Amino acid sequence: MRIAVGSDHAGYALKSALIEHVEDAGHQVIDLGTDSSEVSVDYPLYGLAVGRAVAEGRAERGICVCGTGIGIGIAANKVDGIRAALVHDVTTAGLSRRHNDANVICLGGRTTGAAEALDAVDAFFSTEYEGGRHQHRLDEISEYESTGHAHPPPGAATDDHERQ
């Protein structure tokens, strides 16, 4: 599998360990940077780069790492077709695939230990999407991405009719 990987300076050390781990597992890595923990860089650039690589088909999945995994994940999710999930362990990594068909995993270099991160990445790559009852939720997200419109939940206030 081709994996796009990117991080900011705060995620660089964990990104390096993850690259070695996934290469040892036989995956091809596209390292989109950064190349140092010494120079402060902006996480959106790297989250967007990973997101684009996956959305454009240059990679099948992506790994994003910043200090917490939050900011870089928000950036990756701005790319249409990306479902970037912030994970903390094997359970959240597996569920991100099983229920959400996540295609990018986001981790925190300052919040997740290396051993947990390696196990989470393994779970992310080995877990298949269940589909079934989860598919209509992904369809709702895709519809919003393509049209800019979403159906309000039953009983929810809308712009045209505010709930009293």
- Residue 96, domain member (yes or no): yes
> Domain count of the chain?
1
Q: Tell me the CATH number at 49.
A: 3.40.1400.10
123-145 mean pLDDT: 93
Out of 66, 88, 149, 151, the active site residue is: 66
Give domain status of residue 144, yes or no: no
Please check whether residue 111 lies inside any domain of the structure: yes
User: Confidence class of residue 156 from pLDDT cuts 50, 70 and 90?
Assistant: confident
Q: What distances in angstroms separate CA 137 from CA 94, 134, 140, 141, one per listed residue?
A: 18, 6, 5, 7
Confidence of residue 150 (pLDDT cuts 50, 70, 90): confident
How confident is the model at residue 29, as a pLDDT? 98
Kindly state whether residue 151 falls inside one of the protein's structural domains. no
Residue 132 located in a structural domain: yes
27 is catalytic: no
145 assigned to some structural domain: no
**Predicted pLDDT at 164:** 47
106 lies in some domain = yes
Catalytic residue among 9, 99, 106, 161: 99
- Please report which confidence band the pLDDT of residue 154 belongs to, taking 50, 70 and 90 as the band edges: confident
- For residue 162, pLDDT over 60 is answered with no
More confident residue, 73 or 157: 73
**Domain around 64:** 2-136
Listing DSSP states for 90-156 in one string gives HHHHHHHHHTT--SEEEEETTTS-HHHHHHHHHHHHHPPP--GGGHHHHHHHHHHHHHS--PPPTT-
Asked whether residue 147 is assigned to any structural domain, the reply reads no
Calculate the average pLDDT of the chain. 94
Q: In the block, which residue shows the tokens 């990104």? A: 15
Q: Is 99 a residue of the active site? A: yes
**Residues 91-104 pLDDT 10s:** 999 999 999 999 99
